[in-house]
Structure 1
Amino acid sequence: MKNTSFVWHPNTQMSEWESFDEIKSAKGVWLTDSNGNKMIDAVASMWCNVWGHSNPKLIKCIQNQSKKLQHSSMFNLTNGPAEKLAKKLIEVSPGMHRVFYSDNGSSAMEIAIKMSLQYWKNIGESKKTQIATLKNGYHGDTFGAMSVGYVPEFFKKFKKQLFSTIQFPAPNRYRIPNGLTFSDYESQCIEKIEKKFQKNNDIAAFVMESGAQVAGGVIIYPDNFQRRISRLCKKHDVLLVLDEIATGFGRLGSMIEYKKQKSIPDIVAFGKMLTGGYLTMAATLANKKVYNSFLGEFNEWKHLFHGHTYTGNPIAASIAIENLNMYEKNNLIKKIQKTQKIFEKYYQEISGIDIVGDIRHKGMLMGIELVSNQERKTPVSPKKSINKIFFEEGKKNGIYLRTLGNIVMIVPPLAITENELNLLLKRVIKTIKAAKSQLI
């Protein structure tokens, strides 16, 4: 039975909804509502679920830790799970030296920005105050994160309150400027970055998502694009700050995406899948050079002024440790590299739908761009929100979908089986076809 919600729901036009379906239970990739209807969780509960719901090992881990220590401050104290997890994160993250915990991805990126700006002040280079970033990138919804990840559709109402950044285009294979090949377009993007680096000596850091822009429309970087930016950062003494909150830990088919991209950063942020999608936790990792710049006498005020009440929560840290151990025990990354090929089987059928303009896919992530005119690449723009249309049509077909603008996002739990993924993609195709009449 549906209940009128007193909750203000995220990124939702509340006037469109009279009520919200209540999820009563979940197991594996399936969500079950209060009426007994089942839906495949096609967005991994906002891109964070790894093993599916109600995994007994992760539940047991929560139960065991909650009996010993539920929470203890990390202000002047520490706890075993937080220490053990930090060691594990350093072991799997090449070039990193220390871990700073927070509660969510936006906070992890706020911390990364503060670290990168304060680093230069700590070493006496106070002129380096500018942040460079990619257009259409997304790094969270807090003010610092909105500044470096400015998506106009989301944040234009706050533009005057945001700090300025230097933005560069990211090559989008579907929308190449007239007269250019994609290779030319990529080189043009890199050249713009290099020219600005040569001209400006006040750039503190270059901030970008690692491997792909996710919330910006599933824009997959071409091979070596990120690596070329990394080289430019090193050449021009600019810190490289990478956001792996949505793209790390297997989403794009590799455990640590920056390792695959051959672009070791100075600072990197992890979140979402860190705890398998069971508890909220994020981490910002810094290399030794950055960390050491914060060391000194107390009255030099070099230390990082940042902290959260639940920083390093032992229950969240415990489940993160178990989650990462399960990656190794179950050889999850190799499994993903096999399962991801299932997506390719459906390219032709999906692209044959006349409102589909483009398909972008890597690892366990797919974005399907919907257009009203394939030749002009005009995005669909119905009066009713596309998200609501796809939620309702998806529900009829037994899948939970959420769109980003005119992009249908397929972001399943990482451990989804091949049979489950086949079923999901067939239902996605059916849903797109059913939604067509409401979109154009």
Structure 2
Amino acid sequence: MEKDFRYVWHPFTQMQDYQEQEPLIVERGEGVMLYDVDGRAYYDSVASIWTNTLGHAHPALTEAIVKQAQLVAHSTLLGHANVPSILLAEQIVDIAPQGLSHVFFCDSGAEAVEIALKMAYQYWQLKGRPEKKRFVKFVEAYHGDTIGAVSVGAIDRFHETYRDMLFETFKVPYPYCYRCPLSLSPRTCAHACMDELKTLLAEKADAIAGVILEPVQGSSGIIPMPDGYLREIEALCKEHGVLLIVDEVATGFGRTGEMFASDHDGVRPDLMTIGKGLTGGYLPVAAALATDEIYEAFLGTYDSNKTFYHGHTFTGNQLGCAVALENLRLFKEERVIEHVQDVATFVAERLEKFWDLPAVGDIRQKGLFVGIELVRDRETREPFAFEERIGWHVGNRCREYGMIMRPLGSVCLFIPPLIVTKEQAGAMLDILYRSIEEETSARVGGTLR
């Protein structure tokens, strides 16, 4: 603990607050459980920030890393190749939305977004349309923390500090009626938001390189698009000659009940970013996927200046690609997608009980991607003040009862490893319910039961 306080600067963490309590220091994991250095067990209800698919210390995934390490751990992909990255690229193309046929590897989701933005930008230059260089983003979007990713993000608390460093974008509303100031129905809200995007594309398409979006917004509080909305955006982009970039870093690899969230609407993006669950949460591998049309625009002679000048030291790292291959093999063998769909139905039924708590203002679910938004007053939608740190208090209470739950502001999350059983999911939700009840009852006047 003393060395942690002395040497480590933790991400998204106010370090002064962090050092005022005993930190949870993880030593090992098994299945859906994590264990600290004192041997205490905790349910991992957020899949170690949405990455873990098949559980911690899965023997087959561990073995895949060991076997690869005995051959070679890493060699450069800059102008050279390696076996695991080739086989993994083939597997990714096989499961990705149709048309995405080329894989550019990197180390994190934010890097994948940077790659997709640069590909889109350079693509239009190569096509003789250099004026198409702006991007359309959505309100409350989050795509990572590098400068390009922050430029297409729109969560002020995270991004406002860096405003002068960012490039200009167009911003349109994301369709979710709970937060809509007009209090419209879901479909009416979606159409109102669509009208803004339609108008923007009709007026500014000649200046727009691409539209970038999350099919379910993650860091803004688990906000899914209404069914069919993504398909309408795809059609608009094609109509106006604008690239569609879908960020599936958080939603990919079964999290929403399909391999990718785009699959729910049968959407075929021009560019797609993936990461997190690709390796089962074991090693940092991510990628940007592109169509033949985009890839072929970059082909030319050595001196044509069409090369995509981008790369990372550990791009296509053999250890990461080997464990990703094993993760995808087990997805098929163990029918993980079907399991997620089954458990998600059970979770939806259990979530109904949470409406008994007056502090619960909204419950949002897509597969095993769940956000429970806490409010001071459900009728008026009055939020808890930021300074009250209600989500933080609930997270601390969960920890007391043996569960790790990292909230997003006042939104409590349930995003377990995909192999979670119904019994385990029920136990986690019981802890979450109890923790919300105990931390909010005095603030909103008790339960409704």
Pairs aligned (count) = 439
C-alpha contact 2:112 2:288 (8 A) present in aligned 1: yes
C-alpha contact 2:148 2:166 (8 A) present in aligned 1: yes
What stretches of structure 1 move > 4 A for 4+ residues in a row? 1-4, 437-440
Partner of 2:77: 74
Of 101, 115, 121, the residue aligned with 2:119 is 115
C-alpha contact 1:382 1:438 (8 A) present in aligned 2: no
CA distance in 2, matches of 1:429, 1:53: 25
Partner of 1:27: 30
Structure 2 residue 420 is the aligned partner of structure 1 residue 416 = yes
CA distance in 2, matches of 1:319, 1:4: 29
Q: CA deviation at 1:342?
A: 1.7
Of 313, 317, 323, the residue aligned with 2:321 is 317
User: Secondary structure in 1 aligned to 2:273?
Assistant: strand
Percent identity among equivalent residues? 35
Task: Give the partner amino acid of 1:195.
Answer: T
Partner of 2:447: none
User: Secondary structure in 2 aligned to 1:403?
Assistant: coil
Gaps of 5+ in 1: none
User: Secondary structure in 2 aligned to 1:394?
Assistant: helix
Q: Write the mapping of 1:352-367 to structure 2, written as runs, cut at 5 A.
A: 352-367=356-371
Task: Give the partner amino acid of 2:182.
Answer: N
C-alpha contact 1:177 1:185 (8 A) present in aligned 2: no
Of 189, 206, 214, the residue aligned with 1:209 is 214
Task: Give the partner amino acid of 1:64.
Answer: K
Of 344, 348, 357, the residue aligned with 2:352 is 348
CA distance in 2, matches of 1:196, 1:60: 51
Q: Once the two structures are superposed, what CA deviation does each residue of 1:342-380 show, in whole Å capped at 9, x if it has no partner?
A: 212223321111111010011001100011111221211
Structure 2 residue 18 is the aligned partner of structure 1 residue 17 = yes
The alignment yields a C-alpha RMSD, in angstroms, of: 1.5
Q: CA deviation at 1:382?
A: 5.7
C-alpha contact 1:342 1:418 (8 A) present in aligned 2: yes
User: Secondary structure in 1 aligned to 2:269?
Assistant: coil
Structure 2 residue 131 is the aligned partner of structure 1 residue 127 = yes
User: Secondary structure in 2 aligned to 1:187?
Assistant: helix
Q: Write the mapping of 1:245-256 to structure 2, written as runs, cut at 5 A.
A: 245-256=249-260
Partner of 1:296: 300
Q: Once the two structures are superposed, what CA deviation does each residue of 1:168-217 show, in whole Å capped at 9, x if it has no partner?
A: 1011131233363332221111111111111112111000012x111111
CA distance in 1, matches of 2:252, 2:217: 12
Q: Once the two structures are superposed, what CA deviation does each residue of 1:20-72 show, in whole Å capped at 9, x if it has no partner?
A: 22111110111111122111000000000001101000000010000001000
Partner of 1:105: 109
Q: Write the mapping of 1:389-404 to structure 2, written as runs, cut at 5 A.
A: 389-404=393-408
Structure 1 179/15 Cα, relative in aligned 2: closer, same or farther at 3 Å? Answer: closer
Q: Select between 366-375 and 378-387 the one with higher mean Cα deviation.
A: 378-387
Partner of 2:266: 262
Q: Once the two structures are superposed, what CA deviation does each residue of 1:136-189 show, in whole Å capped at 9, x if it has no partner?
A: 111001110011122111111111211111111011131233363332221111
User: Secondary structure in 2 aligned to 1:345?
Assistant: helix
Partner of 1:47: 50
CA distance in 2, matches of 1:164, 1:51: 40
Task: Give the partner amino acid of 2:82.
Answer: N
Structure 2 residue 9 is the aligned partner of structure 1 residue 8 = yes
Partner of 1:155: 159
User: Secondary structure in 2 aligned to 1:315?
Assistant: helix
Q: CA deviation at 1:384?
A: 5.2
Structure 2 residue 93 is the aligned partner of structure 1 residue 90 = yes
Structure 2 residue 277 is the aligned partner of structure 1 residue 276 = no
CA distance in 2, matches of 1:386, 1:283: 35
Gaps of 5+ in 2: 445-449
Task: Give the partner amino acid of 2:371.
Answer: G
